[in-house]
Copies of this chain bind each other. A is one copy, B any other.
Amino acid sequence: MSLFVVGTMAYDTVKTPFGQRDWALGGSATYFSMSASFFTKVNLTAVIGEDFNGADLSMLEKHGVDLSGVIRAGGKSFHWKGEYGFDLNEAKTLETHLNVLMEFDPKLPEAYKNSEYVFLANIDPKLQRKVMDQVKNPKLIACDTMNYWIQSARDELVKTLARVDILVINEGEARQLADTHNLVKAAGIIRGMGVKTLIIKRGEYGALLFHENEIFAAPAYPLEEVFDPTGAGDTFAGGFMGHLARLGDGKLSQTKLRQAMIMGSVMASFTVEKFSVERLASLDRKEIAERFHRFKGLTSFEDISGEIA
């Protein structure tokens, strides 16, 4: 099934305790589509500047990402500069240059309008709705957001949330959006806004899925070397949505959602092993399968409740 993503394509300058990359390929839609491309065809919409590197576009196309919805505008590409300390869970933003993103007005090519799976990465919630309006008959819509929109455009965001099936946000954002610290309570409040299914990402601690009356806890893969957490959340979303799109019937079951949560975690665990999309670019399906199997090993135990009661 075809999977559509709208988000950013960017160049990032990132410093971590383990090194630095200047103007490395980044952006939510880039990470998402690279990740999802291992599972399904991806239709990408984003805006890039005159400076965007043709080799980066070719690399995405080689991964089966359709770029016919990518608009090249006059000006420079979106550029983010950030730094991580040893606590890799939290980025310190040093500079944000929106550049061409300021004028982003997503218009979907005709072929994209039949996309069945839709991911609205973190952009202005008004634009997220504008994109939804263009997709004819989506089977499943998921979105991300960030603290900036929660704070400055809450009403617009709430309107968007009422129209999506799945929200994928991080722990701090969930607390901010619900205005409560306890995550289970926060999940209840956010789902009250109309989001049926909620995923709360917790960085190196994994992610929680709230669906129907059940909670699923996916761990993060414990890695000895984490070089750069940039893009981990978008890569997670790409693996998650990519897996659901591959299965393809648009129905959400606990079984499929849980597999998708692990697939997202698998993909994110690769991204952080190198800078930028370097690790995703060299990845193959055998490595993905092997790590998925390792997640099983990481979490499995015998249910001995019968012995205790």
Contacts and interface: CB of A to CB of B under 8 A. Distances in A.
A123 interface: no
A259 B293 CA distance: 20
Nearest to A181: B86
Given A216-B298, A217-B298, A181 B87 contact: yes
A307 to B, nearest CB: 8
Nearest to A300: B258
A183 B222 contact: yes
Contact of A293 (B182, B202, B286, B303): B303
Interface string A290-309: 10110011111111111011
Contact of A301 (B261, B289, B297): B261
A252 interface: no
A247 to B, nearest CB: 10
Interface string A46-58: 0000000000000
Nearest to A298: B217
A78 B202 CA distance: 37
A185 interface: yes
A215 B222 contact: yes
Nearest to A294: B305
Contact of A288 (B286, B290, B296, B308): B308
Contacts of A308: 285, 288-289, 292
Contacts of A152: none
B217 A222 contact: yes
Contacts of A224: 182, 184-185, 188
Contacts of A258: 300-302
A255 interface: yes
Contacts of A298: 215-217
A223 interface: yes
A61 to B, nearest CB: 23
A161 interface: no
Interface in A204-229: 205-206, 208, 214-219, 222-226
A42 interface: no
A262 interface: yes
Contacts of A262: 301
Q: Which of A226, A289, A306, A308 has the most CB of B within 10 A?
A: A308
Interface of A: 17, 86-87, 181-185, 188, 202, 205-206, 208, 214-219, 222-226, 255, 258-259, 261-262, 285-286, 288-290, 292-293, 296-306, 308-309
19 contacts: A182-B223, A183-B222, A188-B224, A205-B206, A206-B219, A217-B219, A217-B298, A219-B219, A258-B302, A261-B301, A262-B301, A285-B308, A286-B309, A289-B305, A289-B308, A289-B309, A290-B309, A296-B305, A299-B301
